[in-house]
């Protein structure tokens, strides 16, 4: 009897265990896990193609154009503006001899007009972008004790000018013509007799005076501002000569669009502000 009860009890436990176990869920009915959407990788911004813009500019533009060039490059990623500064007549010759140039900025109309005649610059495309005027510079210690324009005719004065074919040299001699009429005939001859050196560009005139190799020199107002260590004697408007600077792209430029953009920047309010800072008289 006890054996029968034991078997019955074992059978009951077995059946209960089987009923409690659940059938496995088919894989096809299992809920698929939810995946987070995959974000597309950010698109890399392509690097701009590097471009080099070559600008030939009058030596008097050195400080202003270096600042303008840096700002222009910053506003145009990939662009590098390079400059060749010198006497306008020298730069014009280099262009005629085949130097690769995109933009030319001259200190006078003569050199630009020559390039137009020789088909290096398209007619009527050059435009005046600033004016400049003359000033007398003296060493800081002023060893010759010069105080007024008339003192330039004193015997023994060492005067340095730019050569006559250089724009500022030509303007200086034109100013002497005006002074000759004001200070008396013979003034110009006396002044020119004091010239000890004729330089290739205006920056060389500044350097001679800074080094004490001359008692005076005649340069542009912009050059005097760039050399604050020097003293100056102002030239009145009626005895001064106003220089007009034209700028233009070259016909053979390989960067015509970029050249136009640079000229546009020079003519913009930002560019003209920089020119004014360096002593030029902007046209806008």
- Residue whose tokens read 């560019």: 271
Structure tokens at 79: 């662009």
The arrangement of strands across the sheet holding 51-58 comes to 79-86, 51-58, 103-105, 243-249, 127-132, 281-282
The residues, ordered by sequence, that sit 6+ positions from 177 with a Cβ below 8 Å of its Cβ are 188
Helix, strand, coil share (%) of the chain residues, nearest 5: 45, 20, 35
**Domain 51-131+244-282 in CATH 3.40.190.10:** yes
pLDDT of residue 45: 61
Domain covering 134-239, topology: D-Maltodextrin-Binding Protein; domain 2 (3.40.190)
Answer yes or no: is pLDDT of 118 > 50. yes
The arrangement of strands across the sheet holding 159-162 comes to 195-199, 159-162, 216-220, 134-138, 231-234
pLDDT of residue 43: 62
> Tens digits of per-residue pLDDT, 190-225?
999 999 999 999 999 999 999 999 999 999 999 999
Top pLDDT among 38 and 193 is at 193
* Residues of each domain in the chain carrying CATH 3.40.190.10: 51-131+244-282, 134-239
Surface-to-core class of residue 26, CB atoms within 10 Å of its CB (0-12 exposed, 13-18 middle, 19+ buried): exposed
Does the pTM exceed 0.85? no
- Residue whose tokens read 């972008």: 129
């Amino acid at each position: 009897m006890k054996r029968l009860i034991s078997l019955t009890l074992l059978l009951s436990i077995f059946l209960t265990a089987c009923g409690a176990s659940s059938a496995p869920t088919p894989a096809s009915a299992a809920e698929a896990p939810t995946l987070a959407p995959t974000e597309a990788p950010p698109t890399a911004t392509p690097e701009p193609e590097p471009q080099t813009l070559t600008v030939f500019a009058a030596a008097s533009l050195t400080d202003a154009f270096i600042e303008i060039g840096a700002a222009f490059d910053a506003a145009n990623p990939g662009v590098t503006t390079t400059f060749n500064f010198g006497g306008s007549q020298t730069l014009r010759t280099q262009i005629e001899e085949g130097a690769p140039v995109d933009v030319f900025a001259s200190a006078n109309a003569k050199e630009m007009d020559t390039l137009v005649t020789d088909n290096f610059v398209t007619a009527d495309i050059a435009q005046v972008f600033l004016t400049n005027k003359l000033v007398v510079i003296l060493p800081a210690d002023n060893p010759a004790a010069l105080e007024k324009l008339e003192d330039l005719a004193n015997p023994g004065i060492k005067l340095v000018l730019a050569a006559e074919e250089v724009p500022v040299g030509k303007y200086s001699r034109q100013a002497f013509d005006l002074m000759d009429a004001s200070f008396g005939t013979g003034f110009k001859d006396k002044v020119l007799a004091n010239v000890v050196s004729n330089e290739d560009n205006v920056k060389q005139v500044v350097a001679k005076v800074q080094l004490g190799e001359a008692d005076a020199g005649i340069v542009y107002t912009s050059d005097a501002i760039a050399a604050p260590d020097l003293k100056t004697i102002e030239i009145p408007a009626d005895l001064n000569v106003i220089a007009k600077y034209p700028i233009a792209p070259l016909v053979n430029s390989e960067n015509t669009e970029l050249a136009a953009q640079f000229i546009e920047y020079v003519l913009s309010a930002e560019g003209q502000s920089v020119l004014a800072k360096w002593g030029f008289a902007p046209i806008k």
